[in-house]
């Protein structure tokens, strides 16, 4: 289906042409004086110079050419030369009915679908999942759903941090605590036990303990670095331990992400990239891309147009060890080999931007990816507490994700029980659903690149620009529709027929904007614009609701029209929250 704005623009273009002016002047925008009109065009002002005519004269001629039976219901030329437009209700109603009848509410699919990979989540195995990783998961999941909804072939990859120093730390600490385990016996030739010698609870205690100890004790730190090195070089006992750490951690991560409604198609990680490194490095050397700089192997990536210094991409340290750059390049080698993506989107903390500039340039320059592969860095800002500093627990420690979720769920449960609309058993699952909307909407409604303040009280409020408010609106619509059905009437033989009141027309227009908004959200990868839209839509709906007697309306056709409009509003809101990564309960 065409976008509403395009339909209006096309009609106005024809009027410009019929009046003897170029159609490029017919640029239509939303009105900035909603009290006067719905849409406006300032093209007559722009055309005045070119056609040596007073703008108002042009505006009047164009208005005279607008057909009387089109989507533009009323047009007015206003001094000094504005064209004010109002849409025709009948046409809008027809448009909305088509949305209702079409799959995906009339949103067209991408004409040439692309293979897109989304690198998001990025947790570090064995370290507890904390709020720092929350944003990547929330934003990435929404980007995945939006790009997929538009018809692309999308794969989400968690890209675990599973190959670093933290693994060496855990191995070293285990060796200190349980030196008799077979993993540490170099002469051991049997099979290693199937069962891990630790639980997730142990790991969560071992890692911070080891990390803190290493900071104070150089020899211990050396040992951990050595263990990391041996693991990376394939020492069997350490590989077996690594596998245990992976199994235990990944099971725990899966549970956590499931609670967040975040689902990855691939659970690959840095470790998977390692096998591509030797060949890649050899080729970079052979083809003259890499050179030695102070003992390290690097690829220059600076460009003439740079305004600030872009250091070379580091391929190998002087001791031969691979680095973060190396791993991300090798991951691209693997992605190119296995999936051949047209585009890779990295949803990562914006403080890592320089790293990605280096990696992207190096990958392009050296042919690791194709010339036209679109590598995009979607950097996000920090989630701060009310004090403006990175979000912490009340005691000042690092906030664990599951504690944050539990806190919000508790708060939601209290509110829901106060409302007394759901039974106690249902309150628990409802609290989870609504709590998640509070967190996700609170995050996504901010432009991703900006820092934002995680304000629990504001985010969990049922009023204002919040997830719970959006859900409350959906629940309200669902309840009216259910009551309507309970009177024995069917939801399916309803049809929107033009508006009676202003609030109703406003709701119709807002609903009609859906596909246009979604297109922008998709092109700009901007979930915050989807949030802004559903907030507007919910507000317009609630004004209509307070203004209109729906269930007691006696004129049947009118009532059916209201119901159809409600259905459409519900469907749009439900589609949008799904694209944002949360869902709505039946009651709350």
CB of 391 to ligand ARG, least distance (A): 16
Q: At what angle do helices 236-259 and 165-177 cross, to 10 degrees?
A: 110
Short-list 504, 530, 505, 528, CA closest to 516: 530
Segment holding 311, helix H or strand E: none
CB 170 within 8 A of CB 244: no
Q: 353 vs 426, which CB is nearer to ligand ARG?
A: 353
Q: How far apart are CA 379 and CA 448, in angstroms?
A: 7
CB of 199 to ligand ARG, least distance (A): 23
CB of 161 to ligand ARG, least distance (A): 3
- Mapped onto helix, strand or coil, the DSSP state of residue 191 is coil
CB of 31 to ligand ARG, least distance (A): 43
CB of 351 to ligand ARG, least distance (A): 9
CB of 206 to ligand ARG, least distance (A): 19
Segment holding 308, helix H or strand E: none
Q: 356 vs 514, which CB is nearer to ligand ARG?
A: 356
Short-list 416, 411, 528, 515, CA closest to 475: 416
Q: 105 vs 348, which CB is nearer to ligand ARG?
A: 348
CB 83 within 8 A of CB 41: yes
Q: 323 vs 456, which CB is nearer to ligand ARG?
A: 323
CB of 376 to ligand ARG, least distance (A): 12
Q: 119 vs 272, which CB is nearer to ligand ARG?
A: 119
Q: Which residue is nearest to ligand ARG (CB)?
A: 122
Q: 31 vs 211, which CB is nearer to ligand ARG?
A: 211
Q: 124 vs 561, which CB is nearer to ligand ARG?
A: 124
Short-list 8, 19, 4, CA closest to 63: 19
Short-list 333, 233, 232, CA closest to 282: 333
Q: 373 vs 575, which CB is nearer to ligand ARG?
A: 373
Q: 124 vs 437, which CB is nearer to ligand ARG?
A: 124
Q: 26 vs 301, which CB is nearer to ligand ARG?
A: 301
Q: How far apart are CA 147 and CA 579, in angstroms?
A: 9
CB of 342 to ligand ARG, least distance (A): 18
Q: 28 vs 170, which CB is nearer to ligand ARG?
A: 170
The radius of gyration of the chain's CA atoms, rounded to the nearest angstrom, is 29
Short-list 142, 387, 162, 154, CA closest to 268: 162
DSSP 195-258: S-SS-HHHHHHHHHHHHHHHHH-HHHHHHHHHHHHHHHTT-HHHHHHHHHHHHHHHHHHHHHHH
Helix-, strand-, coil-residue percentages of the chain, each rounded to 5: 55, 10, 35
Q: How many CA atoms lie within 13 A of 70 on its CB side?
A: 20
CB of 122 to ligand ARG, least distance (A): 3
Which segments within 39-188 are labelled E, that is strand?
39-41, 72-78, 82-87, 115-119, 153-157
Q: How far apart are CA 387 and CA 46, in angstroms?
A: 48
Q: 350 vs 529, which CB is nearer to ligand ARG?
A: 350
CB of 372 to ligand ARG, least distance (A): 21
Residue entry with tokens 């204002």: 464
Q: How far apart are CA 100 and CA 102, in angstroms?
A: 6
Q: Residue 458 — φ and ψ, nearest 5°?
A: -70, -45
Q: 70 vs 161, which CB is nearer to ligand ARG?
A: 161
Short-list 346, 439, 340, 441, CA closest to 399: 439
Q: How far apart are CA 163 and CA 229, in angstroms?
A: 10
CB of 253 to ligand ARG, least distance (A): 12
Q: How far apart are CA 109 and CA 117, in angstroms?
A: 18
Q: 260 vs 348, which CB is nearer to ligand ARG?
A: 348
CB atoms under 10 Å from CB of 485, counted, come to 12
Q: Which residues, in sequence order, are bridge partners of residue 115?
A: 153
CB of 124 to ligand ARG, least distance (A): 5
Q: How far apart are CA 467 and CA 581, in angstroms?
A: 11
Q: 358 vs 409, which CB is nearer to ligand ARG?
A: 358
Q: Residue 406 — φ and ψ, nearest 5°?
A: -65, -40
User: Which residues of the shown chain bind ligand ARG in the complex (CB under 6 A)?
Assistant: 119, 122, 124, 159, 161, 328, 346, 348
CB of 248 to ligand ARG, least distance (A): 18
CB of 118 to ligand ARG, least distance (A): 11
CB of 162 to ligand ARG, least distance (A): 9
Q: Which two tokens mark 304? A: 């003439």
CB 579 within 8 A of CB 530: yes
């Amino acid at each position: 289906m065409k976008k509403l704005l395009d339909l209006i623009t096309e009609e106005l273009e024809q009027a410009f042409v019929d009046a003897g002016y170029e159609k490029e002047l017919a640029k239509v925008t939303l009105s900035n004086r909603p009290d006067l009109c719905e849409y406006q065009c300032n093209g007559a002002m722009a055309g005045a110079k070119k056609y040596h005519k007073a703008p108002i004269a042009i505006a009047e001629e164009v208005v005279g050419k607008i057909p009387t039976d089109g989507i533009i219901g009323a047009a007015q030329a206003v001094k000094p030369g504005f064209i004010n437009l109002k849409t025709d209700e009948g046409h809008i109603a027809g448009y909305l009915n088509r949305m209702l009848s079409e799959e995906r509410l009339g949103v067209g699919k991408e004409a040439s679908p692309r293979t897109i990979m989304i690198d998001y989540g990025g947790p570090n195995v064995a370290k507890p999942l904390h709020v720092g990783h929350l944003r990547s998961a929330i934003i990435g999941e929404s980007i995945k759903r939006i790009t997929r909804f538009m018809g692309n072939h999308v794969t989400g990859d968690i890209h675990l941090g599973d190959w670093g120093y933290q693994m060496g730390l855990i191995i070293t600490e285990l060796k200190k605590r349980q030196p008799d385990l077979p993993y540490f016996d170099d002469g051991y030739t049997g099979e290693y036990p199937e069962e891990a010698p630790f639980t997730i609870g142990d790991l969560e205690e071992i890692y911070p303990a080891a990390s803190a100890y290493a900071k104070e004790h150089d020899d211990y730190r050396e040992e951990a670095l050595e263990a990391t090195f041996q693991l990376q070089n394939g020492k069997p006992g350490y590989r077996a331990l690594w596998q245990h750490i992976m199994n235990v951690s990944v099971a725990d991560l899966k549970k956590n992400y499931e609670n967040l409604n975040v689902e990855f198609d691939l659970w690959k990680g840095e470790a998977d990239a390692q096998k591509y490194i030797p060949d890649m490095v050899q080729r970079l050397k052979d083809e003259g891309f890499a050179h030695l700089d102070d003992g390290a192997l690097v690829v220059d990536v600076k460009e003439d147009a740079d305004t600030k210094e872009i250091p070379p991409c580091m391929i190998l340290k002087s001791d031969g060890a691979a680095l973060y750059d190396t791993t991300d390049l090798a991951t691209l080698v693997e992605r190119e080999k296995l999936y051949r993506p047209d585009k890779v989107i990295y949803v990562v903390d914006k403080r890592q931007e320089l790293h990605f500039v280096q990696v992207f340039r190096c990958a392009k320059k050296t042919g690791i990816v194709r010339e036209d592969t679109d590598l995009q860095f979607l950097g996000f800002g920090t989630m701060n507490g009310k004090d403006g500093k990175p979000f912490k627990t009340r005691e000042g420690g690092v906030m664990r994700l599951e504690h944050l979720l539990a806190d919000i769920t508790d708060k939601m449960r209290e509110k829901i029980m106060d409302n007394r609309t759901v039974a106690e058993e249902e309150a628990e699952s409802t609290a989870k659903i609504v709590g998640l909307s509070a967190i996700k909407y609170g995050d996504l409604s901010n432009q991703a690149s900006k820092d934002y303040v995680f304000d629990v009280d504001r985010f969990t409020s049922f009023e204002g620009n919040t997830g719970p408010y959006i859900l409350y609106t959906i629940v309200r619509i669902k309840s009216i529709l259910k009551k309507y059905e309970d009177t024995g009437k069917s939801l399916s033989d309803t049809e929107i027929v033009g508006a009676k009141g202003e609030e109703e027309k406003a709701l119709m227009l807002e609903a009609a904007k859906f596909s246009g908004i979604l297109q922008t959200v998709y092109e700009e990868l901007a979930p915050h614009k989807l949030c802004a839209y559903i907030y507007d839509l919910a507000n317009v709906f609630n004004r209509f609701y307070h203004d209109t007697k729906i269930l007691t309306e006696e004129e049947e056709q009118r009532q059916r029209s209201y119901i159809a409009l409600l259905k459409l509003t519900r469907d749009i809101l439900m589609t949008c929250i799904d694209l944002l990564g949360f869902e709505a309960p039946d009651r709350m």
